[in-house]
Amino acid sequence: MSYFQVQAPFPANRPRRLRATPAIRNMVRETSLSPTDFIWPVFVMDGTDNAQAVSSMPGIYRHTVDRLSGLAQQALELGIPSMCIFPFIDPSLKTQECEESWNADNLCNRAIRAIKAKVPEIAVMTDVALDPYNINGHDGILRDGRVINDESVEALVRMGAAQANAGADILGPSDMMDGRIGALRGMLESSGHENVSILSYSAKYASAFYGPFRDAVGASGVLVSNKETYQIDPSNGEEAMRMIARDLSEGADMVMVKPGMAYIDICHRVKTEFKAPTFAYQVSGEYAMLQAAAKNGWLDGPKVMLESLLAFKRAGCDGVVTYFAPEAAKILNS
């Protein structure tokens, strides 16, 4: 018998009783949202004391490295525990072999150091994927029209090592190459970085919702073809479960589902089946579509923002990577 059947018949059972006042609704609320649920993605660029608007993401800017500690201080004050860094790489540094990705002094690594030097309380997360550094926009090395796996993993390990050396707290492999979690975990263990954690983008789909992000990091114009030979087919749910299981068994500490809103069923399944720390990425296209509707007056922006974020908690996620982090935190704190 399902527990849904253990209910008095109407009128003994009137579910509206528990919705009658704010006090009673507060008493029986099942999930809640807090600034501690957020990971805040920030775009960084070269230069000094400057910010550049990302046109397809209203309200989002690329910031110069010297401004990052100010943002980190803001995150700390708002109660946001973590920031994730995404670099806008000078096009002249993009190459076929992506050497800039493991340069100890590249933009991303300078950004990590800038935050950790001034606001060490913030957990700094990185993106481990070659696309910002790749002349053809792919997450792995492209040869003869193919993204090759094993050599890409070697490059990703060098990249992750440079990030860990710069002080990153969490590596976020978003590349979807096979074997990268075990390789990164082995590198961290053998290089004195055993306390650096891995939040694997395990269930990362080949999605059209990443469009505005690729503008933000300057990868849209350059991407040759698409990412369907490594990112998951949006039709597949079982495959996502296999990827989560694999990444956990290779040493991922936390797992991610990406995008979020259109894949909320996957979030729920992942938490229910694995019970591991589970995160969703509310990606750039999800942010852009809510902002666009709000700017047109078609939706109440703050309300849909909070409702969309709460949905991830209800689905079972422990947290969300979201561009709304500071705005949502301000409302939740007020």
| Residues of this chain that bind ligand PBG (CB under 6 A) | 127, 129, 131, 139, 174-175, 210, 213-214, 227, 283-284
Say which of 94, 116, 227, 258 is annotated catalytic.
258
Active site residue 116: no
**Residue (69 or 179) nearer to ligand PBG, CB:** 179
Cα distances (angstroms) measured from residue 23 to each of 27, 237, 307: 6, 39, 20
Q: How far apart are CA 124 and CA 207, in angstroms?
A: 26
**Residue (110 or 214) nearer to ligand PBG, CB:** 214
Q: How far apart are CA 278 and CA 103, in angstroms?
A: 31
Structure tokens at 181: 């979690």
Structure tokens at 93: 């540094």
Q: How many residues does the chain have?
A: 334
Smallest distance from the beta carbon of 81 to ligand PBG, in angstroms? 19
Helix (H, G, I), strand (E, B) or coil at 194: coil
Smallest distance from the beta carbon of 266 to ligand PBG, in angstroms? 16
Helix (H, G, I), strand (E, B) or coil at 199: strand
Q: How far apart are CA 92 and CA 94, in angstroms?
A: 6
Query: How many helices (H) does the chain have, and how many strands (E)?
Result: 11, 12
Say which of 94, 204, 227, 271 is annotated catalytic.
204
**Residue (88 or 213) nearer to ligand PBG, CB:** 213
> What single-letter amino acid sits at 220?
S
Active site residue 204: yes
Q: How far apart are CA 141 and CA 152, in angstroms?
A: 5
**Residue (37 or 139) nearer to ligand PBG, CB:** 139
Closest CA to 260 of 313, 211, 212, 214: 313
Smallest distance from the beta carbon of 163 to ligand PBG, in angstroms? 14
Structure tokens at 219: 């990868």
Residues paired with residue 322 on neighbouring β-strands, in sequence order: 282
Q: Which residues are catalytic?
A: 204, 258
